[in-house]
Structure 1
Amino acid sequence: MQRNVGGIDRTIRGVLGIWLVVVGVAAALDDQRIKAVTAIVAGIGLLLNWGTQFCGCNALFGIDTTGDESASE
């Protein structure tokens, strides 16, 4: 997989991923199962994008936010 997530895009995905997991845990503690599962799944997805620096949707649409970071690879 070639990296296509970088810079501010990667930072935003990491922050939103953590925030969504926290929201999901709070919803689970409040017995709101659908909201909890939805938030946690979305958060984990964003954290996977952050960690792997790859997004399937970005690849599908030809978007690359890494800038010059991966130009030498």
Structure 2
Amino acid sequence: MTRNVGGLDRVLRIIIGLALIVATATGTIGVWGWIGILPLATGLIGWCPPYAIFGINTCKTEPKQEG
């Protein structure tokens, strides 16, 4: 599994995921808010299956060091 979620994308996924989970846990929104587990997980792991399918990569890769 090569990381395909990076930088700002990861931060936004984690914030949105946590916000949805907290809103659901406090009763602010309905049970659909548990969907926040998905962006939270992909943000923490750094890999998103749909990104892999469509060839999207927001993760900056570092050039390999020679020598």
2:59 is aligned to 66
Partner of 1:39: 33
Structure 2 unaligned segments of length 5 or more: list them: none
**C-alpha displacement at 1:25, in angstroms?**
0.8
TM-score (norm 1): 0.76
Residues 16-55 of structure 1: matches in 2 within 5 Å?
16-27=16-27, 35-36=30-31, 38-40=32-34, 42-55=35-48
Write the distance in 2 (CA, Å) between the matches of 1:39 and 1:14.
Answer: 14
Identity of aligned residues (%): 34
Going by fraction, where is helix more abundant, 1 or 2?
Answer: 1
TM-score (norm 2): 0.82
Which ranges of 4 or more aligned residues in structure 1 deviate by more than 4 Å? none
**TM-align CA RMSD:** 1.8
Structure 1: gaps (5+ residues) = none
State the match for 2:5 in structure 1. 5
Deviation, 1:68, is 2.4
